[in-house]
Amino acid sequence: MSKSIAELQVIAKRVRRDILEMIAAAKSGHPGGSLSAVELVVELYFNTMRIDPANPKWPDRDRFILSKGHAAPVLYSVMAERGYPDTPKDKLNTLRQFGSIYQGHPDMRFIPSLEASTGSLGQGLSLGLGMALGERLDGRPSRIYVMLGDGEIQEGQVWEAAMAAPFHKADNLVAIVDNNQIQLDGFVRDIMAVDPLADKWRSFGWHVVELDGNDAVAVRAAFEEAAATKGKPTALVAHTLKGKGVSFMENNPKFHGVAPSQDELKMALQELN
């Protein structure tokens, strides 16, 4: 499926509305880090990744792991938009409720089309590396995309995997750091600084692309550059805006993990009209 940038921007706006409605209905969840990642996830599912929603376990498919599992709403909404049979659009507003397939964090037991059950931070890149090595062994063209939070990379296991992927020349692996600069307790720079991000990944042996992660054109170009990079994995350091698209949520630590009230939802949806 190939979509124009303009089409993706329309989808991105719908996804943002979904995210806000879902989290507001659930009265809990993580809007900020879901909104920051919208352009990246939309581009992956609507253009970059070789996938077939009607055949979600197609062996040659590309795979996406949301290592920052608390951003589940962006993934649910995008998969629903993309038409996976096990992510119905009309059930999105059951997020986090008892009996819902839309669990608080992505859970393969409820949505088999997911590639991993995540939520405990720091683990996705290792999983992705294992998948990348397995696919390469079988000679499959599959590429593995792992999205990490900038707070998440404070976890030591991330750097174990970051060391191992270039060592094994896993050029079918892409790490995407959603660098929105905010984590639960506040700004990343005040909790545990992770800069200089690009230098860190580069010094571990990755090909690094820095980009504006909320710019659909830049996002597409970055994934194209990653695909063209041979012999080493690529890390996208995607500079994003936490809460992107809703003025009072943007760059506001409060909306890392707090749901909008009904009034706030109304205001937010007006901005996204």
Partner 1 sequence: MSVDTKAPRKKFELKAGVATREAFGRTLVELGRENRNVVVVDADLSKSTMTTYFAKEFPDRFFSMGIAEANMVGVGAGLAMAGKIPFVASFSVFAVNKGFEQMRVCAAYGRSNLKVVGTHSGISIGEDGPSQMSIEEIALACSLAGFVVMAPADEASCKALVRAAAAYDGPVFIRTGRPKAPVIYTADHKFEIGKAVEVAPGTDVTIIANGLLVAQAMLAADLLDADGVSVRVIDMHTVKPLDRDAIAKAAKETRAIVVAEEHLIDGGLGVKVAQVVAETHPCAMEFVGIHDRYAESGQPEELLEKYHLVAPDIASAARKVLTRKS
Kindly state the smallest distance separating residue 164's Cβ from partner 1, in Å.
5
Our CB check for partner 1 shows the closer of 32 and 122 to be 122
Kindly state the smallest distance separating residue 103's Cβ from partner 1, in Å.
11
Residues pairing with 173 in the sheet: 144
Chain-centroid distance of CA 44 in Å reads 9
* Residues of the shown chain interacting with partner 1 in the complex, contacts defined by CB under 8 A: 59, 108-109, 115-120, 123, 125-135, 137-138, 156-157, 160-161, 163-164, 167-168
Kindly state the smallest distance separating residue 257's Cβ from partner 1, in Å.
20
With vertex at residue 7, the alpha carbon angle to CA 4 and CA 10, rounded to the nearest 5 degrees, is: 155
Cis peptide bond prior to 260, omega within 30° of 0: no
Our CB check for partner 1 shows the closer of 149 and 260 to be 149
Our CB check for partner 1 shows the closer of 103 and 179 to be 103
CA distance 101 to 147: 22
Burial grade of 139 (CB within 10 A; 0-12, 13-18, 19 or more): exposed
Handedness of CA 36, 38, 39, 44 (dihedral sign): positive
DSSP character string of 95-115:
TTSTT-SS-SS--TTT-TTSS
Our CB check for partner 1 shows the closer of 163 and 228 to be 163
Pairing assessment for the beta strands 182-183 and 186-187 based on DSSP bridges: antiparallel
Kindly state the smallest distance separating residue 61's Cβ from partner 1, in Å.
11
Kindly state the smallest distance separating residue 232's Cβ from partner 1, in Å.
17
Our CB check for partner 1 shows the closer of 128 and 253 to be 128
